[in-house]
Structure 1
Amino acid sequence: MFYPSTFLRDLGSIRKTLAFVTFLFILGIAVGWYSTGALSELINQQMNGIREISNQLSLSSHPKWSFFVFIFFNNSIKAVLMIFLGLFIGVLPVLFLLVNGMVVGLLVHTSINHGESLFDLVVKGLLPHGIIEIPAIIIASAFGIQMGLLVLSSFGGSGKGELRARWREAFRKAVTASVWIVILLFVAAIIESTVTFTLMKG
């Protein structure tokens, strides 16, 4: 159930959904980049909250450890929740993905406008951990949307036996995905709290 091959096979079974959520994330980045007015203010509030937490963690006696614990648990809890909150017809994973993309888009755009190096921001600040963290978030959202699609399809004419088997398989996939997403986010948190932290401080 938890073999890497099982997880990869499950990913293969939702290829179309993965492509769709990847598009949503890119769309979120574009919206964040060009956002103005109330939307920009909303995203800025999200970013200010993140900055405030970051400043508090930086003042702790062991900042790298504090960053690791916060990043890992914050991302892992949200990612797993998005999988199972997809039961609400997939709306929350879609919103979660769009908001995350918008934050990235606005962050990069704002930083460039303030004269910061795009290379430093992307290569030092986002790429080291983001190459693992972003796919993990996209995968979690994809499985959440799959749960939502199953809820919608359950109102159709499938027989009880077939429907029960589909739900059993869906929850099995969700649990398998949750375990591997947490593992990926664990690795990403280590990188973000060490490599990214050191590069950005330097």
Structure 2
Amino acid sequence: MIIDLKRFISTRRSEWDECERTLDRMEDEPRLRLSIEEAQRFHYLLERVAADLNQINTAAADPAIRAYLESLLSRGYSEVQETQRLPVFRVMAYWLAFTFPQTVRRHFGALKLVLFAFFAGVFFGGFALMLDPEAKPVIIGFDHLMGSPSERVAEEEANRGSNLEDGKSTFSAFLMTHNIKVSIFTLALGMTFGIGTIINLFYNGVILGAVGFDYVLAGETKFLCGWLLPHGSIEIPAILLAGQAGLVLGQALLFRDGDKGLVSRMRAIRKDLLTLIGGVAVMLVWAGIVEAFFSQYHEPVLPYSVKIGFGMVQLIGLIAFLMFAGRKHTLSLNEEEPK
């Protein structure tokens, strides 16, 4: 309850006037783009106006003051909700180009642990198969990978991708949804304090290592690289980034951060988790398209050198993007791009 209404109005008037000036400026210049700091200040002013209106409503205030504050709020929310000021495409482009790689680098410690667990699995899988080739059904566990690599290569090259001619779109959609589910599962395993995420990454590394060793031992290294690199150069890093998100979740559950309770820690990582898994989904959509429409074609339809080169360019580009994108940028969401 307001004790001294006149003093309250006098104290709050400066922020009301500032809010009104900002609104006048935005309405007079339809193409105006606020900076991040200006947008944050405007949001703060609207919150203050809303709080002041709530207090005014509990007092016997002049109806003109109440109407004035209601007008400010109405105008303010109209500006906030005006979609033309910040197109969805612009927001998504900014998020993908800057926010996503920045988030990956911010949790680089978790990513290092992910890489260690995965490649430990790769080496273990290859070494185990080298010691005991008869253990292949146990280690790999997928029926379509149980046969001779040379026979598989001969069959694939004979088909020349014709087995997918009538179902590329369906196959691509299946790959996208399946891999996204696997990624979300990998993140969700972070609820086991990250232990499940580590085990899942190690297990996937074991399978990759065993399959890779099997094909290399059979002299089919070129086919293996041409088969895996085009889509695997995106798909495998995407799974690793999902594992990174799982470890970030596990770390928040397991370790205290100063005086922050569990709820505060979860709230602090919420945006980063959404950013990581959202970026992973985008990567997997692209990987699914590449696998269905490119990876499944082998020599003589597509030379292996072309497929391997494509995959290497993708992998190097992805690493460079995650390492350097967004390090030094001055473009904010509300600024105009240079002409």
TM-score (norm: length of structure 1): 0.82
Aligned CA-pair RMSD: 2.7
Q: Paired residue for 2:100?
A: 7
Q: Is residue 121 of structure 2 the alignment partner of residue 17 of structure 1?
A: no
Shift of the alpha carbon at 1:26? 1.4
The code of the aligned residue for 1:110 comes to: D
For 2:242, the equivalent position in structure 1 comes to 140
Match of 2:178 in 1: 74
CA distance in structure 1 between the aligned counterparts of 2:222 and 2:165, rounded to whole angstroms: 30
CA separation in 1, counterparts of 2:183 and 2:139? 19
CA contact (8 A) 1:32 1:105 kept: yes
How far off is 1:141 after superposition? 0.2
More helix by share: 1
Structure 2 residues without counterparts, runs of 5 or longer = 1-90, 147-155, 157-161, 302-339
Seen in structure 2, the aligned counterparts of structure 1 residues 77 and 142 have a Cα distance that, compared at 3 Å, is: same
Q: Secondary structure of the residue that 1:198 maps to in structure 2?
A: coil
Q: How far does residue 50 in structure 1 lie from its aligned partner after superposition? A: 7.0
Percentage of matched positions with identical amino acids: 25
Which residue of structure 2 aligns with residue 167 of structure 1? 266
What letter matches 2:197 in structure 1? P
Q: 1:101 to 1:165 in 2, by over 3 A?
A: same
- In structure 1, what is the equivalent of residue 259 of structure 2? 158
The whole-number CA distance in structure 1 between the counterparts of 2:271 and 2:291 is: 30
Q: 2:300 and 2:185 mapped to 1: Cα distance? A: 32
Q: For structure 1, which runs of at least 5 residues remain unmatched after alignment?
A: none
3-state DSSP of counterpart to 2:184: helix
- Which shifted more, 171-180 or 33-42? 33-42
Aligned to 1:48: 143
Amino acid at match of 1:101: G
Superposition deviation, residue 201 in structure 1: 8.5
Letter in 2 for 1:171: R
For the 8 Å contact 1:86–1:144, the answer to whether it is kept is: yes
Check conservation: 1:125, 1:200, Cα contact below 8 A.
Answer: no
Give the partner amino acid of 1:187.
Answer: W
Please report the TM-score for the alignment, with normalisation by the length of structure 2.
0.51
2:278 matches 1:179: yes
Structure possessing the higher relative contact order (Cα contacts under 8 Å, 6 or more residues apart): 1
1:153-196 deviations in whole A, cap 9, x for unaligned? 14x86343xx5333112122111211111110000010011110
CA positional deviation for 1:92: 1.8
| CA positional deviation for 1:91 | 1.6
Which protein is bigger by CA-based radius of gyration?
A: 2
Residue 11 of structure 1: CA displacement?
0.8
Structure 2 Cα separation of the partners of residues 73 and 49 of structure 1: 20
